[in-house]
A and B are shown apart, each in its own frame.
Chain A
Amino acid sequence: MRTGTRLALASALALATAMGPATAQDVPREDTVIFDIDRTIRDPGNFNWFTPGVKRLHGAHQAMWEPLFILNYETGDLEPWLATGADSNDDFSEWTISIREGVEWSDGEAFNADDVVFSVELAMGNEDLTSREAATVRAQVASVTKVDDLTVTFALTAPNPRFVVENFGNRIFGSFLVMPEHLWTGQEAASFAFNPPIGTGPYTFNSAATNRAIWDRNDDWWGAKTGFMDLPAPQRLIWLESGGEENRAQLLASNQMDAGQTVTLGTFEAMRFQNPNIISWKADLPYAWSDPCARQIEFNTTIEPWGSANMRKAVEAIIDRNQIVNVAYEGTTEASRSMFVQYGAMAPFIDAVVDAGYGFTPEGDVAAGQAMIEGEGWAMGSGGFFEKDGQTLSANITVNSASTELTRAVDIIIEQLIRAGIDARAVPVENSVFWGTALPLGEYELAYTWLSCGSVNEPWATMGRYTNESIVPIGERAPGFNNTGRWDTDATAAYTDAVAKLQGLAPGDSAAPALVVDAYQHYFAEVPFIPIVQASKLLPFNTTYWTGWPTEENNYNHPAHWWGHTHQIIHNLEKAN
């Protein structure tokens, strides 16, 4: 309790200091929006988003850098932002993007095709730029050409009907962000810190420390001048690391925070009990929004015995998804039936897979799992764990300790595995270790992740992440976090070939479900990762100072306020009184 109070106090103090010296102009609380971040800003002086680290979600890509397009999760439309439209040739191997006229960097320079071409070529020519979006562009683009100041064409390495939404549409978390050519030219791209940063957005950088970042409105924003949009209402935006569920809840309940990261159901109910102005996506139970990144167990297939498909399938059989839903998520989510997110647009593919007999059941079958383990030569030892050649069957599950949701789900999985005879234990690691080294370098045995995340309305984005094209040795960075478990068997090769046939299909092609099943059988034969449950995000918003938050009724877009589409949220905010 003492630590909790102290932490809450520390956060409040941090907030006070955050607002203290920086408020030379004294921005009142009611003109400030305070967002929550769930991780430490390790290197607050570095704004090079091409390399890994917390360099975007502390406000940089929500307020300062604008995307070319924003995918609307509710309508499925790709809404133009810095661009005005995109077009492709017939076989989707060449794309042309038109850029909006009148866009300016906050230092007054014009934003144009030169910046786009420069940034894309930067990513194409430098293997050290390892962030997911840079790696994807590098893999997909063969060449990029400026047609005129407002038009750019991309020649692709392979036909891709989803090229724009995948790279420039904020489909998952972020988008490829265009950098100002006039400041980046001549810099060493991998080590350039880009500080102070500038962007085209309506907010400019004020200051940052490890636990917060502050952005102030630029009243000279190009969007207001050209009539693209009005200036957003908040004068100042702060991203603050709340540091855990208790502090998050206290800050929100006491109106010291406006948008929180995900909390558990009990905490959300308690916050509303104290502060009726707290809302979330849904007005009633389960309150939560399902984000597109369903939870799963990842296996490092280079570590025995998890190289064996039967051992992985045994774990799949043992896991009781219902219990995870009921205890860890308190009924706010549902069990995964396949590797796909359970959105309406994905239903044809999920149904096709389940009808073909490749669906996962919500209940566990411990006996079946144990039989599979015994089939691999293990025998139940006296300690209640399986043994073979004097070795106990163990499983170390790496989990990101940033969220109670994740650690609690892993606690339950561990309980289930231990009861079935596998000596499982959690390896909680800090957020930056989880994403910085554990996952990409393959330094884990099992991990609780959401790395199949990608598909929202078509199957390829998810399926394409587990092909053998992304396999690198352990210790090297898996490009774009794809196939971090290094699944590399004959089945992987067959899977890769089958998935390739999906890649060039236009959206809505009626042949897609059958092709999905064809590829899915190779995945299902070896389950390199186990889908567990859908992701539920119970994101609290505070309407004391600001209204206009995204909800099921006011659904201009989804509520994940650490994603790049948050520009829309900020533009929709209105002062409460």
Chain B
Amino acid sequence: MAEVSAQTQAPEGEAKGRFNRFDNPWLNPKLLWGIGILLGIVLLGLIGRMLWNTELVFTGSTPLRLPPVGFENLRGQPGEAAFPLGTDGAGRDLLALLIIGAPNTLMIGAVASLIGMTTGIILGFSAGFIGGRTDDVIRILSDVMITIPPLLILVVFQSVYGDVSLLLMAFLIAGFMWQSPTRLIRAQVLSMRESGYVKMAQLSGASTAHIMFREMLPNLIPYLFGSFIANVTTAIVTAVGLEVLGLGPQRIPTLGRVIYDAINSGALIQNLWWWWGLPTALLAVMFIALLLINLGLDEISNPRLRKI
């Protein structure tokens, strides 16, 4: 397929178009856009912290229920420039909440996914490559774990445990993030194990760890990245799900927590759309960025998807 289209395009500058794209598969617009948006959110957090008063995330630090600049609330109060995105019902500044909350939400997703993936890689390779009893144990464990709905367990755990820190929450979610990568990587490794270069490495006396991580792992990198991003999305959805139920960290702002407070305080009926709307919109942007990255990575690991 790729060859056919390459041939049809050949007359208009074959070398240029074709080789550039093959040389830099990482420079695809979806990936770049996705990364750009995510970086924007991270920068909003980093630069925002320097430029904006982050003390305004605490209860009672601003007037109540002010709308964003240019709008009026139900009482007819106009927005104030000091709180450009408005304030919530407990006296917190929305801009400050987003500046602190968005990177926190992203961080939970990234950390949970990183831990989950790392565990998945180690277990998946061990199961696939070593085989035998190791394979049985890891396979059965991940098969059992994959049937347990994570949100259910986490809701129970967090409601018993009470207030959790961001990192602890990430660790808890990571506990449900390793099963799929383990299974998928194991399957990939099983097929790769029989390939020539692995046999060659074995014959030349390379250690198991060397073969697993130096010979086989590089071939899986685009795939692992894709899997990682998909896991970040799942982890964020799980985290936000818990936060919206009021089970996340209490005093540390996260986007889910802001939405929880809004729901809990009747923001919908009070028409305080900025309170629930802005964090929801930011979450949507975040998910779109992650989706773009995922699509981009998919094109990298699967050349047949590339438009050439």
**Chain A residues in contact with chain B, CB under 8 A?**
1, 3-5, 244-246, 248-250, 253, 263-264, 266-267, 269-271, 273-274, 323, 327-328, 330, 401, 404, 407-408, 411-412, 414-415, 418, 425-428
Q: In the complex, which residues 243-265 of chain B have their Cβ closer than 8 Å to any Cβ of chain A?
A: 244-246, 250-251, 259, 262-265
Closest CB in chain A relative to B97 CB, distance in Å: 14
Q: Is the CB of A3 within 8 A of B267?
A: no
Given the interface pairs A411-B90, A412-B59, A414-B251, the reply to whether A327 lies near B268 with Cβ below 8 Å is no
Q: Is the CB of B162 within 8 A of A427?
A: yes
Closest CB in chain A relative to B135 CB, distance in Å: 41
Q: Is the CB of B266 within 8 A of A245?
A: yes
Closest CB in chain B relative to A154 CB, distance in Å: 45
Chain B residues whose C-beta falls within 8 Å of the C-beta of A244 in the assembled complex: 263-264
Closest to A327 in B: B60
Q: How far, in whole Å, are A267 and B74 apart by their CA atoms in the complex?
A: 11
Closest CB in chain B relative to A447 CB, distance in Å: 14
Chain A residues whose C-beta falls within 8 Å of the C-beta of B74 in the assembled complex: 266, 269-270, 273
Chain B residues whose C-beta falls within 8 Å of the C-beta of A245 in the assembled complex: 264-266
Q: Is the CB of B90 within 8 A of A408?
A: yes
7 residue pairs, one from A and one from B, having the closest CB atoms = A267-B266, A270-B270, A249-B269, A245-B266, A327-B60, A4-B263, A411-B59
Q: Is B307 an interface residue (CB 8 A)?
A: no
Chain B residues whose C-beta falls within 8 Å of the C-beta of A253 in the assembled complex: 269
Given the interface pairs A1-B280, A327-B59, A412-B60, the reply to whether A267 lies near B265 with Cβ below 8 Å is yes
Q: Is the CB of A250 within 8 A of B269?
A: yes
- Interface pairs (5), CB distance under 8 Å: A246-B266, A266-B74, A271-B269, A323-B60, A426-B163
Chain B residues whose C-beta falls within 8 Å of the C-beta of A3 in the assembled complex: 244-245, 263
Q: Is the CB of A246 within 8 A of B163?
A: no
Q: Is B133 an interface residue (CB 8 A)?
A: no
12 extra interchain contacts, Cβ-Cβ under 8 A, other than A4-B263, A246-B269, A327-B59?
A: A1-B259, A1-B262, A3-B263, A244-B264, A246-B266, A267-B269, A269-B75, A327-B64, A401-B246, A414-B59, A425-B163, A428-B246
Q: How far, in whole Å, are A269 and B269 apart by their CA atoms in the complex?
A: 10
How many B residues are at the interface, by size bracket? 20 to 34
Chain B residues whose C-beta falls within 8 Å of the C-beta of A407 in the assembled complex: 264
Interface of A is mostly: helix
Closest to B59 in A: A411
Among A3, A4, A244, A264, residue most surrounded by chain B Cβ atoms (within 10 Å): A4
Closest CB in chain A relative to B183 CB, distance in Å: 30
Q: Is B65 an interface residue (CB 8 A)?
A: yes
Instruction: Bits for B132-165, please: 1 = Cβ < 8 Å to A, else 0.
Output: 0000000000000000000000000000001100
Q: Is the CB of B263 within 8 A of A1?
A: yes
Chain A residues whose C-beta falls within 8 Å of the C-beta of B162 in the assembled complex: 427-428
Closest to A414 in B: B251
Chain A residues whose C-beta falls within 8 Å of the C-beta of B244 in the assembled complex: 3
Q: How far, in whole Å, are A270 and B64 apart by their CA atoms in the complex?
A: 15
Closest to B62 in A: A327
Q: Is the CB of A425 within 8 A of B251?
A: yes
Among B65, B251, B263, B271, residue most surrounded by chain A Cβ atoms (within 10 Å): B263
Given the interface pairs A3-B245, A253-B269, A323-B60, the reply to whether A266 lies near B65 with Cβ below 8 Å is yes
Given the interface pairs A327-B90, A428-B246, the reply to whether A246 lies near B264 with Cβ below 8 Å is yes
Q: How far, in whole Å, are A5 and B262 apart by their CA atoms in the complex?
A: 13
Among B60, B163, B280, residue most surrounded by chain A Cβ atoms (within 10 Å): B60
Given the interface pairs A266-B65, A266-B89, the reply to whether A246 lies near B267 with Cβ below 8 Å is yes
Among B59, B246, B268, B271, point to the contact of A246 (Cβ < 8 A).
B268
Q: Is B78 an interface residue (CB 8 A)?
A: no
Closest CB in chain A relative to B61 CB, distance in Å: 8
Q: How far, in whole Å, are A426 and B271 apart by their CA atoms in the complex?
A: 28
Q: Is the CB of A249 within 8 A of B266?
A: yes
Q: Is B83 an interface residue (CB 8 A)?
A: no
Q: Is B287 an interface residue (CB 8 A)?
A: no
Q: How far, in whole Å, are A493 and B74 apart by their CA atoms in the complex?
A: 54
Q: Is B91 an interface residue (CB 8 A)?
A: yes
Closest CB in chain A relative to B300 CB, distance in Å: 33
Given the interface pairs A4-B263, A414-B251, the reply to whether A267 lies near B270 with Cβ below 8 Å is yes
Q: Is B274 an interface residue (CB 8 A)?
A: no
Q: Is B171 an interface residue (CB 8 A)?
A: no
Q: Is the CB of A1 within 8 A of B75?
A: no
Chain B residues whose C-beta falls within 8 Å of the C-beta of A401 in the assembled complex: 246
Q: How far, in whole Å, are A408 and B90 apart by their CA atoms in the complex?
A: 7
Chain B residues whose C-beta falls within 8 Å of the C-beta of A427 in the assembled complex: 162-163
Chain A residues whose C-beta falls within 8 Å of the C-beta of B269 in the assembled complex: 246, 249-250, 253, 267, 270-271, 274
Closest CB in chain A relative to B175 CB, distance in Å: 23
Chain A residues whose C-beta falls within 8 Å of the C-beta of B91 in the assembled complex: 327
Closest CB in chain A relative to B299 CB, distance in Å: 31
Q: Is the CB of B59 within 8 A of A270?
A: no
Given the interface pairs A1-B259, A411-B90, A428-B246, the reply to whether A264 lies near B266 with Cβ below 8 Å is yes
Q: Is the CB of B163 within 8 A of A264?
A: no
Q: How far, in whole Å, are A250 and B271 apart by their CA atoms in the complex?
A: 12
Q: How far, in whole Å, are A279 and B276 apart by their CA atoms in the complex?
A: 27
Q: Is B26 an interface residue (CB 8 A)?
A: no
Chain A residues whose C-beta falls within 8 Å of the C-beta of B266 in the assembled complex: 245-246, 248-249, 263-264, 266-267, 270, 404
Closest CB in chain A relative to B92 CB, distance in Å: 10
Closest CB in chain A relative to B139 CB, distance in Å: 36
Q: Is B33 an interface residue (CB 8 A)?
A: no
Q: How far, in whole Å, are A246 and B276 apart by their CA atoms in the complex?
A: 13
Q: Is B225 an interface residue (CB 8 A)?
A: no
Given the interface pairs A408-B90, A426-B250, the reply to whether A415 lies near B59 with Cβ below 8 Å is yes
Q: Is the CB of A264 within 8 A of B89?
A: yes
Chain A residues whose C-beta falls within 8 Å of the C-beta of B251 in the assembled complex: 414, 418, 425
Among A1, A266, A327, A412, point to the contact of B270 (Cβ < 8 A).
A266
Chain B residues whose C-beta falls within 8 Å of the C-beta of A428 in the assembled complex: 162, 246, 250
Instruction: Bits for B265-289, please: 1 = Cβ < 8 Å to A, else 0.
Output: 1111111100010001000000000
Chain B residues whose C-beta falls within 8 Å of the C-beta of A426 in the assembled complex: 163, 250
